[in-house]
Amino acid sequence: MYYGYGFDTTYLLVIIGAVLCLVASAHVKSTYRKYAGIRSASGITGAQAAEAILRRNGVVGVTVQHVAGELTDHYDPSRGVVNLSDATYNSTSVAAIGVAAHECGHVMQHETGYLPLRLRTALVPVANIGSNLGIWIVMLGLIFGLNQSLAMIGVYLFSFGVLFQLVTLPVEFDASHRALVMLQDYGILGDTEVKSSRAVLNAAAMTYVASAAASVLQLLRLLMLVNGGRRRR
């Protein structure tokens, strides 16, 4: 390929990003496994904890449901459903209760119109298009006669995907913060148990930090490719 050498070196950035994501994913899985074995003193399940939190906050129209899979827990605002996975719904562990409370943190963000969450929701469609199509447009711009304007359009499009990943960070950190405060304030977990839940939620947050870092590295790489193409022209 014409820009073969430049392509190879910048691809290192993508590999670094992928390694960061793998490390973060392995870390959250091992942390979850560790604290999934510690039963909470209250003996309530993740689902019961979520229901208690929603009740305490007077949230109406949001139900707690069981969803299949591993680490598939999420809040679906369009249906008003807190989806808790196999490992969370029926488990009485401090890990499960932490994750369930985190999803309720997202419910509270939604209920209170938390600004980063609104921004994140607004970015979803353009971010999806941008992160998939952006790279291809950059490559097209580079392959066909080094069309720099076309390549830069691809970079701009991809930036929306990066922005989405960055806006996700305050949303996730805030949901975990709300979760831990509520678990403590409502007496669902004791002080030591809250620390264990915090360890699980922090490990989960690192996966979002890793994917944000990976997309920033990818953006950097695209910029290097576009600028490298211009210099060689």
Using CB under 5 A, list all residues that contact Zn ion: 172, 175
* 193 tagged catalytic: no
User: What is the nearest approach in angstroms of Zn ion to the Cβ of residue 36?
Assistant: 18
Nearer to Zn ion, 170 or 190 (CB): 170
Nearer to Zn ion, 119 or 139 (CB): 119
User: What is the nearest approach in angstroms of Zn ion to the Cβ of residue 102?
Assistant: 6
Nearer to Zn ion, 51 or 172 (CB): 172
Catalytic member of 51, 103, 172, 193: 103
User: What is the nearest approach in angstroms of Zn ion to the Cβ of residue 148?
Assistant: 39
Nearer to Zn ion, 27 or 39 (CB): 27
Length of the chain: 233
Nearer to Zn ion, 172 or 193 (CB): 172
CA distances from 182 to 52, 185, 194 (A): 10, 5, 10
User: What is the nearest approach in angstroms of Zn ion to the Cβ of residue 175?
Assistant: 5
Are the CB atoms for 70 and 88 separated by under 8 Å?
Answer: no
DSSP notation for the chain:
-TTHHHHHHHHHHHHHHHHHHHHHHHHHHHHHHHHHTSB-TT---HHHHHHHHHHHTT--S-EEEE--SSS--EEETTTTEEEE-HHHHT--BHHHHHHHHHHHHHHHHHHHT-HHHHHHHHHHHHHHHHHHHHHHHHHHHHHTTT-HHHHHHHHHHHHHHHHHHHHHHHHHHHHHHHHHHHHHHTTSS-HHHHHHHHHHHHHHHHHHHHHHHHHHHHHHHHHHHHHHHHHH-
User: What is the nearest approach in angstroms of Zn ion to the Cβ of residue 106?
Assistant: 6
Q: Among all residues, which ones are annotated catalytic?
A: 103
